[in-house]
């Protein structure tokens, strides 16, 4: 009851300070036929709800934002997989001149899991800063730094910090073609030193994307991303006579190297209705993750996955019925081929949801 009263008061207050406060809410239902992405297909219905608030302080050359994000994932059958996430942050956009601006921000997030998954509860402190310089109206370069500190209070073995520096170049041409090129260098540093394992890893990422307008209401886009591990660090632990690798638990960007490519077609059918179709392919090599059978025998020194995916997204603006209301539908299907039998799987995900902005 307290939560309902708080949300109601928040909505009423937002209508009084519309120029300064923005409130958004989302409600989605997902139908997933393989929630753990494994050969042992387990299906469930997932309900996701979020309530986000942003407060803006705007001056001639500066936009300061304070925000709060809250979301919950609720699994209908496998309730233990459900989780709650909260984030609080501040972001600032400083316009130095007509051609340059500086963006920076700090945020703090907490994720709480249920039952046996509470061991994976974590908090994250993040900070970023980037500088953007425009050569022309649609040509600019952006360079910056991102810092994340992830703390696992119940499992300090996996606590770590991530440092990333990046550069992006965006250009547009008279042929209605757009080009994005970028490079990142990232470092993952563990908080606890382990004498028997590496305590840091480094990764280089190169990225390129080309977009082409097709008439006035359609566009075609293609991208390619290459990731290379300059060094690899992986951790594991024993539980109930079973060896668990962090790569299998988290599958973050440092878990593997390889490449990813894709094509997407976007079409606007009217002012209120649009659709997007996307086809992707990726190859991931988990160099620190051996392939083993159920008896613990090593079958291969590293796991290799090839994954193909297809997705369709449709969005319909329903502002004519209720201001700020949007209906979205998504369908995604992927096939993962692996030299590890456990990771030979397919996954199909349907979702439908409503977004409401105040």
Residue 257, class by beta-carbon neighbours within 10 Å (0-12 exposed, 13-18 middle, 19+ buried)? buried
**Cβ-contact 334, 309 below 8 angstroms:** yes
Q: What is the pLDDT of residues 307-317, one digit of tens each?
A: 999 999 999 99
User: Is 180 a domain residue?
Assistant: yes
Best-predicted range by mean pLDDT (114-118, 266-270, 284-288, 291-295): 266-270
The pairing of beta strand 273-286 with beta strand 303-317: antiparallel
The distance of Cα 348 from the centroid of its chain, to the nearest Å, equals: 19
How many domains, in total, are found in the chain? 1
Tell me the CATH number at 209: 2.40.160.10
What number is the average pLDDT over the span 325-332? 97
User: Is 285 a domain residue?
Assistant: yes
pTM above 0.95, yes or no: no
Least confident segment among 72-81, 155-164, 244-253 = 244-253
User: Is 145 a domain residue?
Assistant: yes
Q: What is the pLDDT of residues 209-218, one digit of tens each?
A: 999 999 889 9
Indicate whether 24 pLDDT > 50.
yes
- What rounded mean pLDDT belongs to the chain? 90
User: Is 304 a domain residue?
Assistant: yes
> Do you know the residue count of the chain?
358
What number is the average pLDDT over the span 241-269? 87
CB neighbour list of residue 208: distance below 8 Å, 6 or more residues apart: 179, 180, 181, 182, 223, 224, 225
User: Is 330 a domain residue?
Assistant: yes
Rounded to whole angstroms, what are the CA distances from 345 to 33, 307, 333, 334? 11, 10, 11, 9
User: Is 308 a domain residue?
Assistant: yes
C-alpha 27/C-alpha 65 separation (Å) is: 24
User: Is 50 a domain residue?
Assistant: yes
Structural domain span for residue 293: 20-357
**Cβ-contact 27, 46 below 8 angstroms:** no
Least confident segment among 27-41, 68-82, 186-200, 319-333 = 186-200
**Cβ-contact 293, 274 below 8 angstroms:** no
Indicate whether 187 pLDDT > 60.
yes
Rounded to whole angstroms, what are the CA distances from 317 to 17, 202, 311, 323, 327? 24, 43, 20, 9, 6
Dihedral over alpha carbons 30, 32, 37, 41 (to 10 degrees): 160
User: Is 4 a domain residue?
Assistant: no
Query: Which residue, among 223, 314, 310, has the nearest Cα to 268 in the 3D structure?
Result: 314
Burial 156-189 (b: 16+ CB within 10 A, else e): eebbbbbebebebbbebeeeeebeeebebebbbe
């Amino acid at each position: 009851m307290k939560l309902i009263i708080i949300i109601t008061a928040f909505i009423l207050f937002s209508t009084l300070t519309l120029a300064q406060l923005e409130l958004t809410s989302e409600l989605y239902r997902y139908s997933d036929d393989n929630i753990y992405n494994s050969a042992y297909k387990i299906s469930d219905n997932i309900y996701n709800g979020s309530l986000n608030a942003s407060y803006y302080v705007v001056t001639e050359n500066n936009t300061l934002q304070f925000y709060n994000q809250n979301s919950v994932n609720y699994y209908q059958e496998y309730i233990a997989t459900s989780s709650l996430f909260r984030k609080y942050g501040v972001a600032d956009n400083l316009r130095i001149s007509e051609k340059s601006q500086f963006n920076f921000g700090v945020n703090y997030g907490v994720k709480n899991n249920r039952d046996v998954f509470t061991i994976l509860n974590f908090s994250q402190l993040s900070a970023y800063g980037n500088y953007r310089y425009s050569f022309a109206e649609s040509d600019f370069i952006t360079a910056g730094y991102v810092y994340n500190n992830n703390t696992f209070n119940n499992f300090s073995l996996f606590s770590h910090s991530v440092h990333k520096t990046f550069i992006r170049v965006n250009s547009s041409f008279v042929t209605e073609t757009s080009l994005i090129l970028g490079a990142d260098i990232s470092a993952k540093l563990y908080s606890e030193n382990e004498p028997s394992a590496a305590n840091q890893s480094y990764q280089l990422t190169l990225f390129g994307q080309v977009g082409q307008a097709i008439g006035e209401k359609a566009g075609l886009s293609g991208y390619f991303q290459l990731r290379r591990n300059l060094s690899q660090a992986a951790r594991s632990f024993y539980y109930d006579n079973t060896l668990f690798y962090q790569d299998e638990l988290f599958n973050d960007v440092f878990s593997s190297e390889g490449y990813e490519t894709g094509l997407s077609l976007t079409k606007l059918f009217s002012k209120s209705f649009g659709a997007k179709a996307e086809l992707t392919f990726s190859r991931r090599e988990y160099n620190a993750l051996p392939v083993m059978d159920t008896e613990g025998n090593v079958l291969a020194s590293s796991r290799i996955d090839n994954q193909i995916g297809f997705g369709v997204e449709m969005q319909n603006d329903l502002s004519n019925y209720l201001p700020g209301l949007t209906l979205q539908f998504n369908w995604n299907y992927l096939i993962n081929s692996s030299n590890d039998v456990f990771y030979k799987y397919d996954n199909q995900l349907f979702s439908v949801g409503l977004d409401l902005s105040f």
